[in-house]
Structure 1
Amino acid sequence: MVEEGAPAPVSKPRLVATDLDGTLVRTDGSVSERTREVLLAVEALGVPVVFVTGRPLRWTEVVFEHVGSHGLAIVSNGALVWDVARDEPRTVRPMDTATALAVSQDLRAAVPGTTFAVESLEGIDLEPGFMERATLPAGVRRAPIEQLFDRPALKLLARHEELDPEEFWSLAEEVVQGRLVVTWSSTSALLEISAPGVTKASTLAQVAAGLGVEAADVIAFGDMPNDLPMLTWAGTSYAMADAHPSVVAAADHLAPGHDDDGVAQVLAGVFDL
């Protein structure tokens, strides 16, 4: 880990990958005009900007205007690649239903009080006891977990109302034992569970390869544990100044905080904007 304000890479990156919440998006949920201008300037140089987020599609669409008309967005921690220009999925990496159901049953047995929700292309469905913090869209189903896997699941959400987020993640890792990928990015005990091998990094690698870009030519930004695979894969990585300690330790460089337009500040320097 180097200090904040580290020198720009010797060669200019050929792809920018950035997380949203806690990274590009401010605490009030906005993307500043300065950040928007910098992203558009980078795009104008022919360098694609790819949003790589744990958000579901319905929460990512609100910031698509900032990714460029031809851009791609990696959604749900890598389970979905969305073609912004065509407004359609390019890649879908769902979970195996039997495995996801077995994991949910095992996790509840090992950690009583666990409740679940399932994200799909159609939206979110929740168990009756799952306490969602955000406003839910119309038409949300509430049913036992066994009834929520009737369509391809992009992400399984597990919530606990009493445990610490990292403690819950550690317990879940012992239960899951590699059958699925378990990560987290919330200040509450909310786990985000994906198909085997599905991470921000693995899907970003596919997108980059399709664009003829190698890992060494990617600059990535993040702030939470679900960003770690992407940050360790990218040739140049920045943790936000207010990132989780594990992210700060893993990244190459430290960017100013997300409320200080840290991504924009770094990119302006890297690309001499």
Structure 2
Amino acid sequence: MEYRRPSLPGRRMRIHSLRVQPIDLLAVDIDFTLVDAERRIPEANARALRGAREAGMHIVLASGRIASSLRLFAEELGLPTPLVACNGAFVLDEAGDVLADHRLGQEVVEVVVRECERRGVHLNVYADDKVHFAQESAMAEMYLRRARRSVPVILPWAALTRLQPNKLIAVGEPRILEDLRLWAEEALPGGSSVVTYSEPEYLEFLCPDCDKGTGLASIAGTLGVPRERTAAIGDYLNDVPMLAWAGHSAAVANAVPEAKAAADVVVGSHEECGVAEYVAMLLKNVGK
């Protein structure tokens, strides 16, 4: 059965009651933020982002997805957007030039791949702007249904250990993933990776020196946008660094408590087009 995240209680605040800097750059998470439950961009959100761009605001798409998947969303929006892919491990400017390309250490890759094989846990290996995994499974099918736009490369488990990925994702039932997370705390060398959830069924193994916040900072620096004139919106644990770094930030109503705590405001859920609501607030606040 497909997971549908329930809305969590949170205080709704109106940004026009706050004093914030004019915003020149807005970073938007994809899943459970920009897109609806069917992983499609609602027209209200698309229209709002196009309007923000016309008003002079740079739009950044920030996700755990690979860059090629994000490009399809950018094309659907019809916008030239910098991309923060793989949770900040792979960052591109509007022209498609690489600003950051962080790779997991080979020891981490080998240990995690072998442990997932031993446990029978499905593992996605994100390398060279492709998603690789070892076998078809129920969890692989679930991931592909959700991702919609990804075509995987199937390789033997041994071949996965030789890749140099930006990140790994174990896909499974939450109970199984929590056991794997506890194993990782003991088995992986300290400082070798960051292990976090991006959805209840996705346990990510990330490079320790990057996240969505560092990705946003890299793009802002390239564009000459000061931190206080940046904004971000998201919903989950992997969005927290981005929400905390941005000059102003919002969490959608369906966000986890940690994301809401990191954000300045809470807007409507992903099903209520919270992105469009936030964009309208930002533009109204600066009189655009």
What's the TM-score bracket when you normalise by the shorter of the two chains?
0.7 to 0.9
Matches within 5 A, 1:224-239: 224-239=236-251
Matched residue, 1:121: 128
In the alignment, the residues of structure 1 paired with residue 183 and residue 208 of structure 2 have an alpha-carbon distance, to the nearest angstrom, of 18
Q: Which residue of the partner structure matches residue 42 of structure 1?
A: 52
The answer to whether structure 1 residue 193 and structure 2 residue 205 are counterparts is yes
Range moving further from structure 2, 164-173 or 235-244: 164-173
Q: 1:138 to 1:38 in 2, by over 3 A?
A: closer
1:21 partner SS: helix
Paired with 1:20 and 1:124, the residues of 2 have a C-alpha distance of 17
* Residue identity matched to 1:204: L
1:10-48 CA-partner distances (Å, limit 9, x unpaired): 321121011011111111222122211211111112210
Instruction: Give 1:210 deviation, angstroms.
Output: 1.0
- Match in the other structure for 1:94: 103
Contact 1:126 1:148 in 2 (8 A): yes
Percentage identity across paired residues of the two chains: 28
1:268 aligned residue: 280
Gaps of 5+ in 2: 1-9
Which shows bigger deviation, 16-25 or 213-222? 213-222
Equivalent AA in structure 1 for residue 24 of structure 2: R
| Residues 133-142 or 13-22, more deviating | 133-142
1:148 deviates by 1.3
1:184 is the counterpart of 2:170: no
1:79 and 2:89 are equivalent in the alignment: yes
Counterpart of 1:255 in structure 2 is: 267
Cα pair 2:15 2:265 within 8 Å, conserved: no
Aligned length: 268
Deviates more, 1:66-75 or 1:159-168: 159-168
Q: Secondary structure at the match of 1:31?
A: coil
Is the 1:94–1:152 Cα contact (8 Å) retained in structure 2? yes
- Relative to structure 1, the CA distance from residue 27 to residue 159 in structure 2 (aligned partners, 3 Å threshold; closer, same or farther) is closer
Kindly report the root-mean-square deviation, in angstroms, between the aligned alpha carbons of the 2 structures. 2.8
Query: How far 1:67 moved relative to its partner?
Result: 5.5
1:185-204 Cα shifts (integer Å, max 9, x gaps): 2232x211122212111111
Q: CA deviation at 1:58?
A: 3.8
Counterparts of 2:259 and 2:152 in 1: how far apart (Å)? 37
Among 15, 19, 38, which residue is 1:7 paired with?
15
**TM-score (normalizing by structure 2):** 0.81
Which consecutive unaligned segments of at least 5 residues does structure 1 have? Answer: none
Task: Tell whether the 8 Å contact from 1:228 to 1:247 is kept in structure 2 after alignment.
Answer: yes
Question: Secondary structure of 1:271's match?
Answer: helix
Change (3 A) 1:57 1:214: same
- Offset, 1:244: 1.3
| Greater fraction helix | 2
Counterpart in the other structure of 1:20:
30
Indicate the SS of the match to 1:22: helix
TM-score scaled by structure 1?
0.85
